């Protein structure tokens, strides 16, 4: 059984690279959607392309912003708590 290698995109013109990146981002968003459905969790994806200032956000910018704020709030709440070892 042979291993399928990853195709190199180094010698491809910029339009083809952009097309390949868009397809990979689309596949990533589909996987994030499947993960959120199967595990019943909130998932947000933020992708910055090479040389781009604008981010591609899934599911939407407002939802991703809310999810990041919720995560940071939970992290801030848990940061001050001490971990207690119950097995003593």
Residue 59 sits in a domain whose CATH number is: 3.40.1810.10
The number of folded domains in the chain is 1
Query: Do residues 64 and 48 make contact, with C-beta atoms less than 8 angstroms apart?
Result: no
Interval 10-68: pLDDT, tens: 767 888 888 988 999 999 999 999 999 999 988 999 998 888 888 889 999 899 889 88
Residue at 21 is within a domain: yes
pLDDT exceeds cutoff 70 at 3: no
pLDDT of residue 34: 96
Distance between CA 43 and CA 62 in Å, rounded?
13
Residue at 58 is within a domain: yes
pLDDT of residue 74: 84
Residue at 5 is within a domain: no
Q: Where in the sequence is the domain holding 35, given as residue range(s)?
A: 14-79
Residue at 3 is within a domain: no
CA distances from 82 to 73, 74, 75, 86 (A): 17, 15, 13, 12
């Amino acid at each position: 059984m042979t291993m399928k290698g990853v195709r190199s995109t180094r010698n491809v013109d910029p339009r083809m690279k952009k097309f390949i990146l868009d397809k990979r981002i689309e596949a990533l968003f589909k996987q994030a959607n499947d993960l959120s459905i199967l595990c019943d969790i909130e998932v947000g994806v933020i992708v910055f392309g090479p040389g781009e200032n604008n981010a591609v956000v899934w599911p939407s910018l407002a939802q991703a912003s809310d999810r990041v704020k919720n995560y940071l709030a939970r992290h801030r709440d848990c940061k001050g708590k001490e971990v207690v070892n119950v097995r003593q």
